[in-house]
């Protein structure tokens, strides 16, 4: 998929599209197109003892980490709210999402927030440089 990287919203939309779908392969070519080569994706949460956890991955490490899950499970992540702040060549997107195992599931399997930082390159186009996310859990709910 060719992405209009002059539009921050189109980059974020493409990020959701490339990871969403029925069980099976994902669109890793789009991931390579929209994520900066030096980008990092970070999953945070809590371990079984309630201590914060953090897994930081480059593009290839993220793909290797999630491919077994995507091969076995449907995963449809849909953005329900977005705020974009831009200053010069940097942008920050707060993106609230819901994820379902099938698009017609009534209740989401999870909800959370993606914090996405983008940079505008010498070509004038936006790339995702960093993304960190956390899911709702007891004691932590997405703001209304």
For the chain, the domains span 8-135
Class level of CATH domain 8-135: alpha beta
Please provide the DSSP assignment of 93-108 as one string. Answer: EEEEEEEESSTT-SS-
Per-residue pLDDT of the chain (144 residues; tens, 9 = 90+): 789 999 999 999 999 999 999 999 999 999 999 999 999 999 999 999 999 999 999 999 999 999 999 999 999 999 999 999 999 999 999 999 999 999 999 999 999 999 999 999 999 999 999 999 999 999 999 997
**pTM greater than the 0.85 cutoff:** yes
Residue 50 CB-half CA count within 13 A: 3
pLDDT digits (tens, 9 = 90+) for 131-144: 999 999 999 999 97
């Amino acid at each position: 998929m060719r992405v209009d990287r002059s539009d921050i919203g189109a980059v974020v939309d493409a990020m959701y599209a490339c990871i969403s779908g029925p069980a099976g392969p994902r669109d890793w070519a789009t991931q390579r197109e929209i994520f900066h080569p030096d980008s990092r994706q970070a999953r945070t949460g809590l371990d079984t003892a309630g201590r914060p956890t953090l897994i930081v991955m480059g593009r290839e490490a993220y793909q290797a980490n999630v491919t077994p899950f995507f091969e076995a499970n449907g995963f449809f992540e849909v953005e329900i709210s977005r705020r974009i702040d831009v200053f010069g060549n940097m942008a920050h997107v707060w993106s609230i999402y819901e994820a379902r195992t099938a698009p017609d599931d009534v209740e989401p399997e999870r909800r959370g927030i993606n914090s996405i930082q983008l940079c505008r390159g010498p070509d004038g186009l936006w790339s995702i440089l960093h993304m960190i996310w956390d899911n709702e859990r007891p004691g932590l709910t997405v703001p209304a």
